[in-house]
Structure 1
């Protein structure tokens, strides 16, 4: 099994790279998707979040009020650390379960937005970092519905490009076209993945 840690800042296009790798046969384990699963109604994760932050983080139907909680934790580093302490261990445990269920010869891509911040880079055979210039990332986030100030604050709350490059085996730049990005992913697959898996 080849374990690849895929990371990149918010708005960098990491999900696009993840999809391109899946097209080439990789099994993708998406930490963002798992992070949503572990705090669904009725889960111990949601109960722990409510215990830490109060009932005001719930919507009327009892599900997590993600925008409301995000507004709290992005404005308060201690609150974000408290939330991470609840969610990250649950995500890691579920990711390990999913990885254990894959075939022994699989290429497993762990799509982890906060790979650098959570200190997990040593857990992978290869670390692939997706980068894009700041203004491109801000524009993408604004198109997704964030305000510009909120987009910049979320980018600033994460590791910076230099910190990600320091742990990367390979960096792909997603500031250009989709075709340019796909060509970089093809090169990564041919030069780093195929030789490693035979």
Structure 2
């Protein structure tokens, strides 16, 4: 099994890279999707979040109000730390279950936005970092409905490009066109993944 840690800042294009790797046969374990799963209504994760942050982080239907929670944790590093202490262990446990169920010769891509922040770089055979210039990332986040201020706050709350590069085996630049990114993924697969898995 080849384990690849995929990371990059919000708006860098990790999801696009994940999809391109999945097209080539990788099993993608997406930490963001798992984080949603472990905070679904009725889960111990959501119960713990409500205990920590209060019922105002719930919608009227009893689901997590992500915007309300984001408003709390992106404005307060201590609050973000309390949330991370609840969510990260649940995500790691569920990720481990998914990986344990994979074939022994699988190429497993862990899409982990906070790989650097959570000190997980050493857990992987290869660390793949996706970068895009800050202006491009802000524009992408505004396109997803965030204000410019919120976009910049979320970028600032994460590790820097320099911190990610320090743990990277390979860095992909996603400031250009989709075709340019696809070419870089193809080269990564050909030069780093294929030789490792035979």
Same fold (TM over 0.5): yes
Distance 1:60 1:161 in 2: 38
| Residues 1:97 and 2:101 aligned together | no
The alignment's C-alpha RMSD in Å is 0.3
Aligned to 1:144: 144
The runs of at least 4 consecutive aligned structure 1 residues that moved more than 3 Å come to none
| Residues 1:52 and 2:52 aligned together | yes
- Measured after TM superposition, the shift of residue 71 of structure 1 is 0.4
Aligned to 2:7: 7
Q: What is the correspondence of 1:34-183 to structure 2 with a 5 Å cutoff?
A: 34-183=34-183
CA deviation string 1:75-115 (max 9, x = no partner): 00000000000000000000000000000000000000000
Distance 2:18 2:164 in 1: 17
- Measured after TM superposition, the shift of residue 62 of structure 1 is 0.4
SS at match of 1:42: coil
Distance 2:56 2:68 in 1: 8
Distance 1:58 1:157 in 2: 23
TM-score, normalising length: structure 1: 1.00
- Measured after TM superposition, the shift of residue 63 of structure 1 is 0.4
Distance 1:108 1:56 in 2: 37
SS at match of 1:75: coil
Instruction: Name structure 1 gaps, 5 residues minimum.
Output: none
Aligned to 1:192: 192
Aligned to 1:23: 23
SS at match of 2:171: strand
CA deviation string 1:4-63 (max 9, x = no partner): 000000000010000000000000000000000001000000000011001111100000
- Measured after TM superposition, the shift of residue 172 of structure 1 is 0.2
Distance 2:24 2:172 in 1: 16
